[in-house]
Amino acid sequence: MLDELFLNSMQSFDFDTEIEKAKSVKTAAAESYVAVPIAAGGSVASAALELTSGEYNRLSATAVAGGSGSAAVTGNVTAVLNGVKANFLFLTNDAPSSKVTVNGSVTLNDTDGVYSAVFVGGINASGAAVNGVNVTLTGTTVTSAFYGNGMSSNAAAATSLKFTGVTAGGYVFAGAGSYNFATVCGDIAFTIASGTYTAQIFGGSRIAGDRNTGLTSQVGTVTLNLNGGTFSNYVFAGGCGVGYGLFDGGTFTSQVTGGTAVNLNGAVINHELYAGGFGAADPSYTTAKGAAVVNYGTAVTAKSGSVVNLYGGGYCSGESSVVYGGANITVSGLGFRQGTTPLTIGTVYGGGNGSGLAAAGSCLVDGGTTITIGGNVLTANVITVKNVYGGGNGAVSAVKGGSRIIFAGNFTGKNADKLSVTGVVSGSGRNGGTVEGTSNLEFNDFQGNVDARIMNFDAVTADGYTEAAFTRAADLSGVGRVNFNFSQNEPIDGTAPVLEFASGVAFSDTTEFTLEFQARAAKSGDYTLILSADTLDLTGNSYTLTDSLYGDSFSATLGDGSSWSYYGFDISMQQSGNNLLLTCTAQA
């Protein structure tokens, strides 16, 4: 369904056909209006479009008179519109056979306008807006398409988009769009405060084509702030590359060169959110290639709102969707005095998602994934997450560089009901998704319950401030090492377990237990590292104790009766009943 939705909307935009359709619409308004027409070969210092109400088929701030040739604006292009209706809104150029170069900036401020399609940067050969594109839409309706940089071969140096109360259908690209030609944009900042969006949302650019020579459209960094609004379609921080037809010599790639950053802080996304982009191909032809690339990684911070599925990578059904530099997702919730709006996420994936024509592993996050659940000293809202996967979804997805899933923060006492993770927490992918490298489960200053089923981890790490209680039986037989890192602290309470398994836990005979602490500053006492409600037999498992400050270490086997004689103390790991203890005894 995703492929069909995208491919239906990504076909080449035939301006002549669409404009002729628009002309057939009978209105009492002018057929088209250009605020500042420029003679071919000429230039103007600036161009301004200011209108209150009115209905138009084509509406342009500036264009080449006659629709052919080149012209220039040496300064800025601005449009201030209120209550205007138009089928097409252009700011810098309204015909594919002409070119308007803007040496200044392009600024659009629209209130309560209604448009079929908006091309802020003009179309086709429109020149760059050297000082950037700035768009503020308030109460605006765009029914079919929005391009922050138009469909321009040279787009803006920087783009700022702010949407409040917008209603958008079809698709929205903060970057540029093109068919069989490449575009270049600078950094993009896209903030959505409120509104209703049935549109597919992209923070990057769209490129499509059907020829043998591949092309790449680029944007710099992308920052996508989802502060409000209701979304019923896919949301991507990256761009979209689409290949059509029988040609097999080229891939059409949409690239983000400086990484993406997504902030979910109030938006309600009744669909999927991707930090990467979308690579698609016409399913009618096995040779069609479309790709999306993000360099320097992706970062997602989720504080409030909701989303069905959250991905650190992208989606591909064509050539590929790749993130280089890893993916970092922080599900933090809101901090002190930041509000109480809940955060609800169905499934968090460190990797991406893929299907269709894509080959195995072509939906890739290269550089590893890190997912942090919690982290605030005091969490003010309720965080609800069903599942967490360090990898991606589907056999097409892959992660290289391992995965880390980290629990952090205090979720006890008055905060006990602030965190709920009830499904699966897995260091690998889902439905055949793979993770190459070590999968780590970590607890950093975490106090609270973990209600999920734990699976597919190579290592577990906990610090001395952790008191994690697992309510389900945990099968950790695949874990090669459990590390207690007390290098910066002692356990909170010598009687409270660091890791408590209320329904039991299973380790393998080869699981190694390690502990790092400032051994020369040891204090007499027993510290409970692991407590299991069911039978725990670790006799014969190896363990290693390390002085984190000086690097001295001691290795032994649980149950062999030996201890480390170190600076006036006998130090060892011991099993007592169903507990694993760190025992420090002062020497006489």
Per-residue pLDDT, averaged over 290-299, amounts to 96
The percentage of residues in the chain with a pLDDT greater than 90, rounded to a whole number, is 73
Per-residue pLDDT, averaged over 38-59, amounts to 95
| Per-residue three-class SS string for 115-155 | EEEEECCCEECCCCECCCEEEEEECCEEEEEEECCCEECCC
Confidence band, pLDDT 50/70/90 cuts, at residue 408: very high
Element (H, E) at 576: strand 569-576
Mean pLDDT of the chain: 90
Reply yes or no on whether the pLDDT at 18 is more than 60: no
Per-residue pLDDT, averaged over 44-56, amounts to 95
Per-residue pLDDT, averaged over 528-548, amounts to 94
pLDDT for residue 30: 58
The tokens describing 143, both together, are 């029914």
For 209-220, the pLDDT digits (tens) are: 887 778 999 999
Nearest to 446 by CA among 482, 480, 418, 479: 418
Q: Label the pairing between strands 69-73 and 98-102.
A: parallel
Reply yes or no on whether the pLDDT at 358 is more than 80: no
More confident residue, 119 or 288: 119
pLDDT for residue 247: 60
Q: Considering only 264-273, 432-441, 523-532, which range has the smallest mean pLDDT?
A: 523-532
For 503-537, the pLDDT digits (tens) are: 999 999 999 999 999 998 888 999 999 999 988 99
pLDDT for residue 7: 38
Backbone angles phi, psi at 78, to 5 degrees: -130, 150
More confident residue, 376 or 567: 567
Instruction: Confirm if 526 and 583 have CB atoms less than 8 A apart.
Output: yes
Distance CA(287)–CA(357), nearest Å, equals 9
Reply yes or no on whether the pLDDT at 499 is more than 90: yes
Instruction: Confirm if 461 and 440 have CB atoms less than 8 A apart.
Output: yes
The DSSP 8-state label assigned to residue 430 in this structure reads B
More confident residue, 67 or 265: 265
The percentage of residues in the chain with a pLDDT greater than 70, rounded to a whole number, is 90
Per-residue pLDDT, averaged over 337-347, amounts to 94
Q: How many C-beta atoms surround the C-beta of residue 362 within 10 A?
A: 21
pLDDT for residue 280: 87
Residue found by looking up tokens 């700011």 in the block: 91
pLDDT for residue 10: 39
pLDDT for residue 127: 65
- C-alpha separations of 87 from 19, 51, 145, 173 in Å: 8, 15, 11, 18
Confidence band, pLDDT 50/70/90 cuts, at residue 180: confident
Element (H, E) at 16: helix 15-23
Confidence band, pLDDT 50/70/90 cuts, at residue 11: very low
Confidence band, pLDDT 50/70/90 cuts, at residue 336: confident
Confidence band, pLDDT 50/70/90 cuts, at residue 357: low
Reply yes or no on whether the pLDDT at 267 is more than 70: yes
pLDDT for residue 26: 37
Distance CA(154)–CA(115), nearest Å, equals 24
Reply yes or no on whether the pLDDT at 225 is more than 90: yes
| Per-residue three-class SS string for 43-84 | EECCEEEEEECCEEEEEEEEEEHHHCEEEEECCCEEEEEECC
Query: Residue 353's beta-bridge partner residues?
Result: 315, 393
